[in-house]
A and B are shown apart, each in its own frame.
Chain A
Amino acid sequence: MRVLGFILRKEFRQILRDKTILAMMFVMPTVQLIIFPLAMDFDVKSVNVSVVDNDHSTYSRSLISKIGSSGFFKMISSASSYKEALKSIESGKSDVVLEIPAGFERNLVREGSQKLGLSVDAINGSKASIGGYYLNAVIADFNAGLDVNLKNRNTASQKIEVTFSNWFNPLAMYKYNVVPAVLVLLLTLIGGFMTALNIVREKEIGTIEQINVTPIKKWEFILGKLIPFWVIGLIVFTVGLCVCFVVYGIFPKGNILLLYLFAIAYLVALLGFGLLISTYSNNQVQAMFIAFFFMVIFMLMSGFFTSTDSMPHWARVLSEFTPVTHFVKVDRMIILKGSGWNDVKTEFFYLLCFGAVLNGWAIWNYKKTS
């Protein structure tokens, strides 16, 4: 135990001495937490619309001004023909072409029905469907306000009215979804990358040779490597939480101790992962690439960017096998929803399993190779 103390003292001394890495460990969470949520925004805020008005009537004008005043749409051009409007889609200037046929007003008044043409640029699938959906909603609203429909209220669209409110993220802002996830990303980088690289560095420089001829036991060496990053991980997590509060005003709704309990368990699992990588690689470049390979998969599969619910079945099963998924989920639940122990205990056992398996595997492989 005394020896472990000496090793820890040495490790901290080395980590604190490398000013670049040290700065990175604290600048990274701050900058990432500030940049990511602001830059990554999947909310559809402005859809550019080109209008081809072949009618030039009161009705068509009021429809156009209704669309323009909704706030979601920007009327960027009014073309004289559909062909011309299509060109603005091709050049990427507009996202939607709304074509109002000639005789729009006349037919609506006389026959009570009329058709509109909507052409949506669907390269960005979510923007296309959301933009199209919004535009439809505006048109439906316009439709409901027409004289024809106002007069026979009972026969038309008035059947079931749906009102709704967003919970936990009332304004449905993407940043609330992504901020807790970025916190997880930070812990993952510290736990996975830093430990793997640090241990492999001893191999690469050859210092492990000198350590192996001393009476230092293997568990002392391993713990001496893991504990510093475990501590640093928790410090970075705390810094991250502070940034969340200061910059976004997000303060965990749930029990903060519960959040830390998860962070602790998650770091143990990730440190085991880093250790595992280090036992399989001989130099820092190898370790870097192996770690990077898994980190990218973990990140993309974890529900960080897209919800795991919208993944195909096999991908959802796969995502269950990454520790990141579980922590991202719990992190959002505790920070945004304020979930308690009973809601998240299954995830905790998942993390414990990951910790046991990854660390066990790493130690077994470490023993075997040296």
Chain B
Amino acid sequence: MNSVTLQNIKKTYDKGNVLAVDDVSFEVKEGELFGLIGPDGAGKTSIFRILTTLLLADSGSASVAGFDVVKDYRAIRNSVGYMPGKFSLYQDLTIRENLQFFATVFGTTVEANYDLIKDIYEQIKPFNNRRAGKLSGGMKQKLALCCALIHKPNVLLLDEPTTGVDVVSRREFWEMLKKLKMQGITILVSTPYMDEASLCERIALIQNGKIMSVDTPDKIIGSYPVDLYAVKSENIYKLLVDLRAYGEVASCYAFGEFLHVTMKEGSGAEQIEKYASGKGHQHVVANKIEPGIEDSFIRLMSVRDATKS
């Protein structure tokens, strides 16, 4: 059973001049923690706004919790919890007032669904009488999550919940999502951070409004077709320039303190080391490594660019 389905969804802005979402289809299974991974401007927010009935797609169909986003938009609003990327609660109301307000407009009370938000709410409860506008970024996110959960939704849509939040709060936030998932709530979350992808059960990689791949993080990494090498030397910038000029190198980009390099057929680590030493580099290290989601993303992106041009 699918909780969220999109079929050939297309959305343009500016009278068709800007293509935001290009023929996107994917499904999120019930009770799944699904990640929509892509850089800024990839079309993630547009997809969320279509799913939350705030935006009408140009073509295609979508459903959330079994309801069509166009026909049954009222039903969707009762069964979906949405947390926009931008903090959108009342800044001049306190934590408690915000929570109470959203509970009452959904026709419920804070107490009725307290067990669902308990873990998260307990953390911000000491600041109950503080205005939402005066909270720290992490606390705002927690409050927003509480408000999105207060009516016990079947599906939770979180648009970049961890953007602009410190590392510790981010980790806590993902722990919370895992707990919510265990309560049977389907979660669709978007993020521009590749390292968060492995925390999802399945992910969709999105770029320029197009889905590049949908699978589990392991399978996406596993489908990386060639060997990947991490290379470094004393002068990392010169190495980057030199390797890019090398005919045997297929791709080369900076990744932390290393360069990630893929080779054309038949070449290996020794060739890289030999070539680099020949160019006068000292302390050259080249190791074969396991690719990460980011490597997969970059490869998918370059393959797409190559087929396009």
Contacts and interface: CB of A to CB of B under 8 A. Distances in A.
Interface of A: 2-3, 6-7, 10, 13-14, 17-18, 205-207, 209-210, 212-216
Interface string B70-98: 00001001101010101111111100010
Interface of B: 52-54, 74, 77-78, 80, 82, 84, 86-93, 97, 101-102, 104-107, 147
A213 to B, nearest CB: 5
A215 B86 CA distance: 20
A104 B101 CA distance: 88
A23 to B, nearest CB: 16
A209 B105 contact: no
Contacts of A207: 88-90
A7 B104 CA distance: 9
A215 B84 contact: no
A205 B89 CA distance: 9
A210 B105 contact: no
A215 B74 contact: yes
A216 B107 CA distance: 10
A206 B106 contact: no
Residue among B52, B77, B84, B90 with the highest chain A CB neighbour number at 10 A: B90
B50 to A, nearest CB: 12
A2 B103 CA distance: 13
Contacts of B91: 205
B57 to A, nearest CB: 16
Q: Is the interface of A mostly helix, strand, loop or mixed?
A: helix
B181 to A, nearest CB: 21
Contacts of A209: 54, 84, 86, 88
A14 B105 contact: no
A188 B92 CA distance: 26
A212 B106 CA distance: 12
A212 B78 CA distance: 11
Contacts of B78: 215
A58 to B, nearest CB: 79
Nearest to B54: A212
10 cross-chain pairs, A with B, having the tightest CB-CB distances, nearest first: A206-B88, A210-B88, A6-B104, A213-B82, A206-B86, A214-B105, A209-B88, A213-B52, A10-B101, A207-B88
Contacts of A2: 107
A216 B105 CA distance: 7
B285 to A, nearest CB: 49
B105 A213 contact: no
B89 A210 contact: yes
B77 A215 contact: yes
Contacts of B53: 212-213
Contacts of A6: 101, 104-105
A343 to B, nearest CB: 45
Contacts of B74: 215
Contacts of A216: 105
A229 B289 CA distance: 65
A206 B159 CA distance: 14
B106 A18 contact: no
Nearest to A220: B105
Nearest to B97: A13
Contacts of A215: 74, 77-78, 105-107
B77 A205 contact: no
Contact of B93 (A13, A210, A213, A214): A13
A351 to B, nearest CB: 33
A214 B102 contact: yes
Nearest to A210: B88
Contacts of B106: 214-215
Given A6-B101, A7-B105, A13-B97, A213 B80 contact: yes
A13 B77 CA distance: 25
Which has the most chain A C-beta neighbours within 10 Å: B77, B82, B104, B105? B105
Nearest to B104: A6
Given A13-B93, A14-B93, A210 B107 contact: no
Most buried by B among A2, A17, A213: A213
A216 B77 CA distance: 9
A213 B77 CA distance: 5
Contacts of A214: 77, 102, 105-106
Contacts of B89: 207, 210
A18 B133 CA distance: 13
A89 to B, nearest CB: 59
A213 B87 CA distance: 14
Contact of A14 (B54, B87, B92): B92
18 contacts: A17-B92, A17-B93, A205-B88, A206-B84, A206-B86, A207-B89, A209-B54, A212-B54, A213-B53, A213-B77, A213-B80, A213-B82, A214-B102, A214-B105, A214-B106, A215-B77, A215-B106, A216-B105
A284 B113 CA distance: 37
Nearest to A211: B105
Given A215-B74, A215-B77, 5 more contacts: A3-B104, A10-B90, A210-B88, A214-B106, A216-B105
